[in-house]
Chain A
Amino acid sequence: MNVSGASFRDPSGYVVEHEGQFLRVVRPAYAENYQSLMESGLCRALTDQGLLIPHQEIQRPDIQGAFKVLRPRQVPFISYPYEWSFSQLRDAALATLAIQKTAMSHGMALKDATAFNIQFLDGRPVLIDTLSFEKLRLRPWAAYGQFCRHFLAPLALMSLRDPRLGRLSRLDLDGVPLALAAKLLPWRARANPWLLLHLFLHAASEQRAARAPVKPVRVKDYPLRSFLGLIDSLESAVRNLRWQAPKSDWAAYYESTVTGGKYVEHKKEIIAGFLNTVHPSRVWDLGANTGLFSRIAADAGASTVSFDADPACVEINYLEARRAGETRLLPLLMDLTNPSPALGWAHAERMSWMQRPAPDLVLALGLAHHLAIANNVPLGRIAGLCARMGPWLAIEFVPKDDPNARKLLRVREDIFDGYTREKFEEEFSRRFAIQDSRRVRDSERQLYLMRRLHP
C-alpha cells in the first residue's frame, strides 16, 4: 500500500493506492467535519448533481489510525489544469463555485479551491477531494486567493491575452500569482469591473500586505451576505470571460487540407476495423486534432483521451464533447515533443504524461511525418516511444511525396533520406509485429495495426 505523493498537505486525511485502487483515508482530526458532510445532506446533494465524486465507506482494519476509509469512484485518467482548454478550466471554475454555494446552503464551505481537486469524469468536472469541506464560519473565505490564482487569473490571461498562457499553471503549482497576471494582462482588462476587483485590486492588496510591518490582523465577523456576494461576483467574473477558438489550420484540417474525397471516410472504416480487432478499454489518440477518430474509439466503448498541442483544436473538441454529452472522451492539451513532466515536491505531486495509466491502443494518425520531418525525431525513437505507451498501435505512414509532407519540406533542406516506407516498417518491426497494413483510398498513405513484441 503506497501513500500518494500528492497527498500530504491536508492533515484531514490522505490517499493510498492498493492493488490499483485509490482509497481515501480520513483521519480522526476530520471526524466532525466528515460527519457534518454526510449528515447535513451535502454529500448526497453534490453527488446527485454530479459535482462531487461518489464514494463508499469500506472496512480496512489494516490501515492504522483511520477514522474512516473511503473508496471513491475511480477516475480513468487524471488530468491537470495545464492540460485543459479554456472551456475546460472555465467549467471547472464554475463547478467549484457551484459546490461552494451548495456547501454554504448546508452550513459548510470549501476550505480550499485548487484546480487540481477537479477532474473530468464522464466528460464533466467533479471535485475528487471529499475532505475539502469544513463547517461554515463567518470569516473571509480561506480559499479566495487560491480560487483567483488557480482559475480567475489563468482564465483572464487565456481570454484576454493568449490561450497558450494556460500553461503558466505548470510553472507555479499554487496557481498564477495575481501580481504576475496583473502585469501580463492588457490594460483593457481593468475595464472589466470583476477583474478590476478580484485580480487587480486583490493583487495590490496582497502586495501591500506583503510590504506592511507584521502586526496582528483584526478578526471580525464576516457577514454571510458579503460571503455570498463574493461567490456570486466570482461567478460573474468567470462567466464574463470567453474565448472563441479561431479556426486554426489544424482545426480546419479535415475540411481543407486533406486531399481526396474518399480519404477520410475510408480511414474511418479502417480505424473502426482495427478497433474491432483490438477491443481496447483505453485508447490514447495522439495528435487527435478535433477528435474525429477519437470519437470512433469512444463510440466503440473505449475510454479515450484525445491529445493535441493546439489549444483551438482541444477547445473545439471539448465543446463538441460537451454539446453531445460524450462520457468517454477526454480532450487534452499535450505537446508530444515536450509532454507534461512530473512536478511538485520530490517530483511526486503531479504525474508525468507517461506515469499515467497506460492505454491498450495508441492511435497515431497523420502524426509520424510531423515528428520525423518537422521535429527531426528519428523513426526509431518514435517507435520506441509508442512501444512504451501500450501493447497496440494504429499508426499512419505519410510518404514524403504526400502534399502535406511536401509542405513541411517546402523551405527546408531534405535531410530525411531515411524517411521511407521501407525504413519505417523496418524501424517499427524492431518493436512491433505488423498485424495489418492498408493503403488509404485517394492517397499514398498507409495505415498499420501493430502489436508490441516485448512489454
Chain B
Amino acid sequence: MKTNSHELLTHVLFAWRTLRALAYIDPGTGSYCFQMLIAGLTGLLFFFSSIKRRVLSLFGKAESSRPPATTAPVKNSPARKTRDEGVNR
C-alpha cells in the first residue's frame, strides 16, 4: 500500500505513542532498536535450536527450561505453618 510521507510519519508516531502508553516500563530506545537489529540473527538461532530440539526429541531427550531446583527431591516438607508468614510485594 502506498502511503505518503505525512501519513507514514503520523502512523509511526501513533504506533510509538501507543507502545509507550501500554508499557509501564521504558523499554529503552537502544534495547528496542537493538532487538530489531538482531531480529534476523535471533530468528536464525531459533530455526537451528528448533531443529536441535526435534532431533533430540527423536532420541527421547527433551531440553528442560526449568532451573534444576525443581527437579530435586523435596525434603523437610510440608513446611510448618509459621505464625504470621511474611510478605509479598
Q: Which residues of B contact A325 (CB under 8 A)?
A: 72-75, 77
Q: Which residues of B contact A24 (CB under 8 A)?
A: 88
Q: Which residues of A contact B77 (CB under 8 A)?
A: 122, 325, 327-328
State which of B46, B82, B86, B88 has its C-beta within 8 Å of the C-beta of A229: B46
**Residue A10 interfacial (CB < 8 Å):** yes
State which of A7, A22, A140, A216 has its C-beta within 8 Å of the C-beta of B13: A216
Q: Which residues of A contact B65 (CB under 8 A)?
A: 94, 97-98, 101, 235
Q: Is the CB of A223 within 8 A of B31?
A: no
Q: Is the CB of A209 within 8 A of B30?
A: yes
28 A-B pairs with C-beta separation under 8 A: A9-B24, A22-B86, A24-B88, A72-B88, A97-B65, A98-B67, A111-B23, A122-B79, A124-B67, A140-B35, A140-B36, A144-B35, A145-B28, A148-B31, A202-B30, A206-B30, A217-B29, A219-B16, A222-B36, A226-B35, A227-B42, A229-B44, A233-B45, A324-B73, A324-B75, A327-B75, A327-B76, A357-B87
Contacts A91-B69, A205-B37, A328-B79 supplied; 5 other A-B pairs, CB < 8 Å: A142-B23, A219-B16, A226-B46, A327-B76, A327-B79
Q: Which residues of B contact A50 (CB under 8 A)?
A: 70
**Residue A230 interfacial (CB < 8 Å):** yes
Given A91-B67, A219-B12, A140-B32 contact (CB < 8 Å): yes
Inter-chain CA distance A201–B88, complex, in Å, is: 36
State which of B12, B16, B43, B79 has its C-beta within 8 Å of the C-beta of A303: B79
State which of A11, A17, A141, A210 has its C-beta within 8 Å of the C-beta of B35: A141
Given A72-B88, A78-B89, A323-B72 contact (CB < 8 Å): yes
Given A15-B89, A216-B12, A301-B39 contact (CB < 8 Å): no
Inter-chain CA distance A329–B77, complex, in Å, is: 11
Q: Which residues of B contact A197 (CB under 8 A)?
A: 38, 41
State which of B34, B42, B72 has its C-beta within 8 Å of the C-beta of A322: B72
Q: Is the CB of B49 within 8 A of A322?
A: no
Chain B 4-44 against A: per-residue CB contact (8 Å), 1 yes, 0 no?
00000100110110010011110111111111111111111
* CB of A75 to closest CB in B, whole Å: 5
* CB of B65 to closest CB in A, whole Å: 4
**Residue B83 interfacial (CB < 8 Å):** yes
Inter-chain CA distance A360–B84, complex, in Å, is: 11
Inter-chain CA distance A397–B20, complex, in Å, is: 59
Inter-chain CA distance A299–B75, complex, in Å, is: 9
**Residue B66 interfacial (CB < 8 Å):** yes
Chain A 290-322 against B: per-residue CB contact (8 Å), 1 yes, 0 no?
000000001101110000000000000000001
Q: What is the interface size of chain A, counting residues whose CB is below 8 A from a CB of the partner? A: 93
Q: Is the CB of A76 within 8 A of B85?
A: yes
Query: Chain B interface (Cβ within 8 Å of chain A)?
Result: 9, 12-13, 15-16, 19, 22-25, 27-47, 49, 65-70, 72-89
Q: In this complex, what residue of A is CB-closest to B47?
A: A225
Given A111-B24, A303-B79, A216-B87 contact (CB < 8 Å): no
Q: Is the CB of A75 within 8 A of B27?
A: no
* CB of B25 to closest CB in A, whole Å: 5
Q: Is the CB of B29 within 8 A of A356?
A: no
Given A142-B23, A225-B46, A303-B80, A230-B35 contact (CB < 8 Å): yes
* CB of B80 to closest CB in A, whole Å: 4
Q: In this complex, what residue of A is CB-closest to B88?
A: A22
**Residue A220 interfacial (CB < 8 Å):** yes
Q: Which residues of B contact A95 (CB under 8 A)?
A: 66-67
Q: Is the CB of A219 within 8 A of B19?
A: yes
Q: Which residues of A contact B89 (CB under 8 A)?
A: 4, 6-7, 15, 22, 78, 128
Inter-chain CA distance A345–B38, complex, in Å, is: 35
* CB of B55 to closest CB in A, whole Å: 15
Inter-chain CA distance A50–B34, complex, in Å, is: 32
